[in-house]
Amino acid sequence: MDSGSDSFYRPPESRLEHPGDSPSGFGSVELALRGEIEFNIQEIITEAWLLVAGSKATIFGIFFLGGLVSVVSQFVTAGFSEIFPSAAVGAGLLIGMVGGALAAPFNTAVVLYAVRRAIRDPGASFDTLSECFGVFVPIVGVSLLSALLMMAGYVMLIVPGIYLAISYIFAAPLVVEKRMGVWEAMETSRKAVTRCWFRVFGLFLTLGFIGAIGTVFTFGIGLIWLLPLFILSIGVAYRNVFGYEGEVA
């Protein structure tokens, strides 16, 4: 990988000069930016449900490791606050940002795992974590910059914040799978999702409804299946929109 691949501010157009269809046979960046996207909510959720079996252990395992990072960050914050009570607020904000940065690769890894499950990669495993930590800085850059822009959108008006929250959903996986820079990944995700924004929003709305009903009627037990369903649905949706260019074991 050349040094330009990690550029934070490389414009999206630079990568799209010689696009091609995805070898996976699904979507591609070029097709997505043209609006030629296959995105059927019912089909995505149905396929994701079929992938839940065999995925739960890895998905929960990655989330567990990410949770440990969060817990450690909280303990560090609490200990620092006791030693330096006058700096408690500043320390809390700083450690919170560090904790969020450390959690970003885990959140990306679980989605990348879902993408690899969606293409039926038999080698899909915890290895996605090492892939994500290999591009740690760009992933953190996407996490922090998108969070800042979404926050600005919510402060100005609620609607821009919601628009950006949905539009940037594929940015971090694009950094890993397509080896894009931070701004390129964010803009590529935003432009592609804008072409089918209401369908993507509808997917999350439907999953949220299913999750709420399933959690209530199973007293929370249903989350064992519903959380993987949510993550795998994102993976299937990503595959349909952008395809997959990575190596398959």
Q: Of 46, 52, 65, 42, nearest to 227 (Cα)?
A: 52
DSSP, res 49: H
130: left (phi over 0), alpha (psi -120 to 50) or beta: alpha
What is each CA distance from 151 to 89, 137, 157, in whole angstroms?
Answer: 20, 21, 10
Contact (Cβ atoms closer than 8 angstroms) between residue 73 and residue 97: no
Q: pLDDT exceeding 70 applies to what percent of the chain?
A: 78
pLDDT at residue 1, rounded to an integer: 46
For residue 15, pLDDT over 60 is answered with: no
- Angle at the Cα of 107 (from 196 to 11), degrees rounded to 5? 55
Residue with the larger pLDDT of the pair 2 and 147: 147
Lowest mean pLDDT among 7-11, 44-48, 113-117: 7-11
Token digits of residue 45: 């959720």
Lowest mean pLDDT among 48-62, 89-103, 186-200: 89-103
pLDDT tens for each residue of 46-73: 999 999 999 999 999 999 998 888 777 7
Q: Mean per-residue pLDDT for 23-34?
A: 83
DSSP, res 230: H
pLDDT at residue 84, rounded to an integer: 59
In this prediction, residue 80 has a pLDDT band, given cuts at 50, 70 and 90, of: low
Contact (Cβ atoms closer than 8 angstroms) between residue 240 and residue 26: yes
Domain ranges in the chain are: 24-242
Token digits of residue 165: 């929250």
pLDDT at residue 78, rounded to an integer: 65
Interacting residues of 108 by C-beta distance below 8 A, sequence separation 6+: 132, 139, 172, 173, 175, 176
Q: Mean per-residue pLDDT for 107-131?
A: 94
For residue 190, pLDDT over 80 is answered with: yes
Three-state secondary-structure class, residue 91: helix
Sign of CA dihedral 238, 241, 247, 249: positive
Contact (Cβ atoms closer than 8 angstroms) between residue 228 and residue 45: no
Average pLDDT of the chain? 85
Q: pLDDT exceeding 90 applies to what percent of the chain?
A: 67
Q: Mean per-residue pLDDT for 179-184?
A: 96
Q: Of 213, 202, 199, nearest to 241 (Cα)?
A: 199
Contact (Cβ atoms closer than 8 angstroms) between residue 199 and residue 41: yes
pLDDT at residue 71, rounded to an integer: 79
